[in-house]
Structures are given as structure tokens and as C-alpha cells.
Chain A
Amino acid sequence: MDFRFTPEEEAFRQELRSWLRENVPPNWEGVFLEEEVEEWKQGLAFVRKLAEKGWVAPAWPKEYGGMEASPALQLAYNEEMGYQRAPIGSIVQSVGYIGPAILFFGTEEQKRQHLPPVTAGETVWCQGYSEPEAGSDLASLKTRAVKDGDDYVINGDKTWTSNAHRSDWCILLARTDPAAPKHKGISFFLVDMKSPGITVQPVMNMANVHSFNQVFFEDVRVPKSALLGQENQGWYIAAMTLDFERSSLVAMAVSMAKRALDDLVGYCRETRVKGKSLLASPLVRHKLAEMAIEIEVGKYMVYRVVSLQARMEPGSIEAAVCKLYNTELDVRVANTGLEILGLYGQLHKDSKWTQLMGRFQKSYMYAIAMVVGGGSSEIQRNIIAMRGLGLPRG
């Protein structure tokens, strides 16, 4: 039981922190992934600077541009990136779980083709899992990949595909064996988004931003080298990537929540009601304290997952517990922020009256996307109960 980081880890944290303070664009909103056109461009530029430092994917092997960072160093990295709201929306998926899947299941050639461009900040990836009829029940997906000589030909519709409109590559789940039980006939592909036959259609989200898309595949021909792992092994790979996804995103989210708390405390200190600071109001104090406590609890759930990784102990449901708790926490955090800001809470960041850059308003919307995406809260609870605790299927 030791909560201390090593001196090297601390030194790296400090170095990264001061670098981020200089390099995160000034007045950066940074609530979710930078989604609007201008922000996206700034984010890409930032990632290129990060790449120059060799800091895009700390945990990866050096030969592919990583630092071979220990899990604890990676944690320190994630905490700093989250707290400083670093604009890394263009790489969270590729670094968080797509690259790790390629590292784990890819051929040497696939690794050499795909990983260095990610660490150089040159390629953007998207995730083609969900379909109109296959959300939580992902394994029922209908998109087909049919073998044709040395190629596969893909047909089907994907939906909610974040960043598809600005991605170079897509990880795609498609059915290769329709006769097999539904989990056993799926394969995992790495698809070039420039392939003929792919159409990307925008879907506007609740925050009036174009972030996700519908993606249509019409006779899209991909080479055999696009297959990751074995044919029909796709479900297994996907399940593993979802575990990576859960733990990598959450570490950043917790420290973003901590930042939100610190901002809110600052706001309360300055804001006076009836001549007294909001920090003197018992109700506000109660809310802030509860928020601080819940964030602290979430933090150590992340640390626990990292500890297991460092000990190379196979976790089972810890990542799911961590994702479930922390995404639900973010919903509460955003709501607490809005409650404390009162009428001002509803204002968009562009209003001259807005407080704290309208970040809580935006988080309030995006937080409820996170309890759906990456496996909804209900699905996490199912996984915990059945996979983790061995409770019988209903």
C-alpha cells in the first residue's frame, strides 16, 4: 500500500505540467473532445507539438514512438493532461485503445504501418462498431465482410461514428461468418477511410455540434492486410479494446472533474451573496464537499486499476466499476456546477454574461453521453453482475 509516485514519475509530471501550461491554447474551453472546426485544427496542431516531445503515447514501445512508460507514469500523464484540459480529442481513441489492440493482435507489418503515424500526430482514427440495430447488443451487428480472392468486400451501415468525417482510418467490426453464433462470426478490420464506397453523413448532436456521423459502406474493397487478428476473432478483440477504452479515458476524466471542482470553488470564493462569499453558504459548502469526496473516491478507483496493471494481475471488472462510477460521477459534477451557478449556469460560452466559460453547461450535456457511450451504465452493471460476480443470466 503505497500512494507515492517515484521521483522520476514526479519529475515527469512537473515537466509535463509546465509544458502544458505553455502549450495548451489560451482560454481553451476543453470540456469534451474539441469538436468544432476551429478547435479541431488547434487540437491537431497541439498534438503535433506533443509528438515533437515524444509524448503522444507514453505507454507504447519506443520503436513505435512511445516511451515504454510504466502504468504509474502513464497515470501521472493522464492526470496532468486531464487537469490541464489538453486538446487531444484527435488521438484519445487511437492512443487509448486502437493502438493497444494493434500492438496486441497486429502483425509486425500492421504495427509498423499504423503506429508510428499515430505517435507522430499524423493520423486520426474512428471507431465503427455501432449500427442502427446494434447498440448495446453490439454482437448482433449486420455489416458484412465477404471474402473475395485476397480481399474482403464490406457492406453495411455504421452509426454514432465520432470523428468519421475527419478520420484517416477506421476500426470496423463486420460479420464474416453469418452461420456462426453471433459472437463467433465477427471480424475486426482496419479500414482506410479513403476507400471507394464509403460515405460519411453528419449527425448533429444535442449540443448542436457535428461530432458523430452515420457511415455507409457500399462494396468497399479492403485487402487481406486489413484484417486484425484472426478471422472471426473480432468479438474477442473488441471486448478487450472496450476494457482498454474504459480505463484509459477515465483517468483523464477524474482529473478534469477535479479541475472543474477547483474552478467552482474559485467561483464561489469570489461570488458574494448578501455580502457574504458563497463559500459561507451551508448548502453550497455541502455540495462542494460532497463533490470533492466523490471525486477523490473515483481517483483511487483509477489508481486501483493502474495498480493491477502494474502488477500484471488480470483485472476482471475493475475497469467496468471504474468507468461506471466515474461517468455517473461526471453527471453529478456537472449538475452540481449548474446548481451553484444558478441562472448563469444555462449560458453558452459565447454569451458575454457567461461564467466559467460555460463549461458546466456543456459538460451537463456531454456527461450524459458518457453514461451511454463505451457501454452504457446498465451494460456495465450487467457485466459486473454476470461476468464479475457470476450471477446467472436472466
Chain B
Amino acid sequence: MDLGLSEEQELLKGFVRDFLEKECPETRVREMEEDERGYKPEFWRMMAAQGWQGMIIPQQYGGTGMTFTDLIVLLEEFGRALVPGPFISTVVLGAIPILQAGTEEQKQAFLPKIAAGELIMTLALTEPSARWDADGVAMPARAEGDSFVLSGTKLFVPDAHVSDCMLVAARTKESANPEDGITLFLVDSKSAGIQFTALKTIAADKQCEVAFNEVRVPKANVLGEVDKGWPIIRGVKSKAAVAACAYMVGLAQMDFDITLEYAKQRIQFGRPIGSFQAIQHKFADMIIDVDGSRFITYKAAWALQENEPDAEMLVSMAKAWCNEAARRVVAHGQQIHGGIGFTKDYKIELYFRRQKWMELMWGDADYHRELVADKLAI
């Protein structure tokens, strides 16, 4: 039992941090908020040159075959630097389900391209009902010859507008059990009948409304089996939730670091505000929240990686906790900064807005607590 990082992970972490400090400074983060695509292709290629998109892809498909917990170490650093762009969408929402459920042909077709930074992916799951459970997948796909035809609206789809390919969850069968009858399709984002509308969000990240109007998808593009897509989605959701946790851990840690520095510098009443006990105790509480988040996230990630029987429960515990803990941290961060915290020019506000984004993605605390309760009740 050892909760510390391995030597390789320490190296990775240090390297990623240095790289991002140089290549993804605050100015870049702000620029990408305004940018329509939300990422810079040069930066995407630089990341690919480091092997990051292919990190968890096995070597035979052009990746480096590292582990899920390695990816979590990377994503913690991404959160720290608030890295914008379709990385989680491509790697967690795209590569992971293909690895898990794809045919050899599909793996060959997609994974090497993802690893090379030549393919951007996402998962179109949620709809205007804004639900994460199987009931939320209502958009129909009807079989017609050797194709399926998709019509309906997907909402809150991350990075869809810049994607090359989307994994789309659609209903192919009505049944009493909502988990039965969902199919996953690999859909070329340039297919006729698809329309993207970017959503304006609190974090200025890039989520989209994706309208499908009689979009034709060849049957060969089904991922996994027809009607049996839900278990695949469930696995992706778990990994995406932990990825969001890792991002929040890094984000909260950085908010904490910036705020601590500020409290040591800012003088009021002739002394640094960090000498006031009311402020000091907030810091102690922030440490609890950051550390608490980090280690439950590691545990959930490790449990997924090792296929532990209680992995899903741990994921829900981690996401429920991190959502609220990270929110408490960034709220203290704002309070300790006073007025400057509310200005657009100063960096701390970025963390405040992005925390809310990651809190909502892949299930808020109430949603995950309910899942925990389900499992406790068994």
C-alpha cells in the first residue's frame, strides 16, 4: 500500500508541469475562452509529440501503453494549468470506449490517429433532458438497409464542433429497462444533416448543441453491439467522472497555491492578511478539501484500473466529494482575494468558473450521492 506516486509518475508530473507553465500560460487560457474552436492546433500537435493523446493507448496502436492512473496524474496537472481544448473528449470519451469495445478494424482505424494527434473525438450522450442515466438517451436511430438513421438533439456535448468523429448514443429499441436498447455509433462529424451550435457557458469551455437531421450512419460504425451500448457508456462515464475529479484536484490545488501567496503579500491593518486567524483557518479547511479530493480520486482511479468490485461506488464517492470540496476551495479563494477576485483581469476568477463546469460534468454531488445510496442499500 503506497499512495505516493511512482518514480515514473513523479517524472511525468514534473515534466508536464514545466511544459504547461511554458506552453499553456494564463494568456493562452484566456485566448482560448474567446477562440471559437477553443484550442490551438499547434498546441494539440505539441501534446501529441509528447505522446499524451496516446498515453493510455497500447503500443500496437501507436500509443505508449501507460496506465489509467498515469493519465490521472497528467490530468491533475491539466487542471492546475486549466488546459483548454478537446483532450478529455478525445482520450477519455473517444479512445477509451474504442479500446474497450471496438473491433480490431475500428481500433486500427481510430487509435493510431488519436495517438498521433490527428483525430479529435467526443461523446454525444446527454440530451435536452440533461440526464446522465439511461433514461436520458431518447434520440432514436432507426435501421434502414445497411444503415441507421439518426434524428434528434444532443446537448452539452463537449468539443463536438471541432471533432472529427463523435460517438453518439441513440435509442434503437424501446424497452421496459431503459438500459436495454441503446446503441453507440461512430459518426463522422462532417456527415450530412449534422449541425453544431456552441453554447455559452460559465467556463467558456466549448459545449455544443448537436442537431441530427436524418443522419445516415453505416451499420459497420456501430461500436459494440446493437442495443447493448449502455454498459460501454457506463464505463466511459466512470472514467470521465474520475478524469473530472483529477482536473478539479489540480484546479483546487492551484487556486489554493495562488491564494496562499496572495495572503502572504496583501497587507491590511499593517500586516499580511494571512496573519489573521479567520483567514488562516480557511486555509486549513482548504487543505483538507484539496488533500481529501486528491486521495479519494486516486483510489477511484486505481479501483477502475484494477477492476475492483467496488470501483463504481468509489467513483461516485470521489465525484460527489470533489464536486463540493473543490467548490468550497474556490469559494474561499474568492473570499480571501476580496475585490480583485471578482475582476476579469486577475487569474483567480478562472478557477472559480471552471470549477463549476467540472462539478456539473458527469454528475453533480446529488446525482452521485444517490448512486452511493443505491449501492449502500444492496
Q: Which residues of A contact B (CB under 8 A)?
A: 1-5, 9, 72, 75, 265, 269, 279, 285-286, 288-290, 292-294, 296-298, 300-301, 303-304, 306-308, 310-311, 313, 317-318, 321, 324-325, 378, 380-382, 384-386, 388-394
Extra A-B contacts (7), CB below 8 Å, given A306-B1, A307-B1:
A289-B372, A303-B1, A378-B281, A382-B277, A384-B284, A384-B287, A392-B275
* Residue B320 CB within 8 A of the other chain: yes
Q: Is the CB of A391 within 8 A of B264?
A: yes
Are A279 and B377 in contact (CB-based, < 8 A)?
yes
Query: Which residue among B271, B272, B298 has the maximum number of chain A CB atoms within 10 Å of its CB?
Result: B298
Q: Is B263 an interface residue (CB 8 A)?
A: yes
Q: How far is the CA of A321 from the CA of B285 in the complex (A)?
A: 9
What is the bound-complex CA distance between A386 and B6, given in angstroms?
A: 30
Tell me whether A1 and B291 are in contact (CB under 8 A).
no
Q: List 5 A-B pairs, Cβ < 8 Å.
A: A2-B302, A4-B1, A292-B317, A385-B274, A390-B264
> Given A2, A5, A382, which contacts B280 in the complex, CB threshold below 8 Å?
A382
Q: Which of A9, A265, A386, A388 contacts B376 (CB 8 A)?
A: A265
* Interface check B292, CB cutoff 8 A: yes
Chain B residues within an 8 Å CB radius of A388 = 287
CA distance A388 to B314 in the complex (A): 30
In whole Å, how far is B1's beta carbon from the nearest beta carbon of chain A? 5
B interface: dominant SS: helix
Whether A293 lies near B370 (C-beta < 8 A) is no
B185: interface (CB < 8 Å): no
Asked whether A311 and B4 contact (CB < 8 A) given A292-B376, A392-B274, A392-B275, the answer is yes
Partner of A300, one of B277, B284, B296, B320: B296
Taking the nearest CB of chain A, how far is it from the CB of B321, in angstroms?
5
- CB atoms of B320 and A289 under 8 A apart: yes
Let me know if B17 is at the binding interface, CB within 8 A: no
A382 neighbours in B (Cβ, 8 Å): 277, 280-281
Chain A residues near B377 (CB, 8 Å)? Answer: 265, 269, 279, 285
B373 touches A392 (CB 8 A): no
Q: Does A307 lie within 8 Å of B373, measured CB to CB?
A: no
Q: Complex formed: what's the CA distance from A310 to B264 in Å?
A: 33
Asked whether B373 lies within 8 Å of A285 as measured between CB atoms, the reply is yes
Residues of B contacting A378 in the complex (Cβ-Cβ under 8 angstroms):
281
In this assembly, does B46 line the interface, its C-beta being within 8 Å of a C-beta of chain A? no
Q: Which residues of A contact B3 (CB under 8 A)?
A: 1, 3, 300, 303-304, 307
A293 to B293, CA, bound (A): 11
Chain B residues, Cβ within 8 Å of A390:
264
In the complex the two chains form, is B1's CB within 8 Å of A5's CB?
yes
Whether A393 and B369, one on each chain, are in contact in the complex, defined by CB atoms closer than 8 angstroms, is no
Q: Which parts of B266-283 form the interface with A (CB within 8 Å)?
A: 271-272, 274-277, 279-281, 283
Residues on A with C-beta less than 8 A from B276 are: 394
Q: Which residues of B contact A317 (CB under 8 A)?
A: 287
Any chain A CB within 8 A of the CB of B219? Answer: no
List A contacts of B314 (CB < 8 A): 296
Contact of B9 among A1, A265, A294, A300 (CB under 8 A): A1
Pairwise interchain contact B317-A1, C-beta atoms closer than 8 A: no
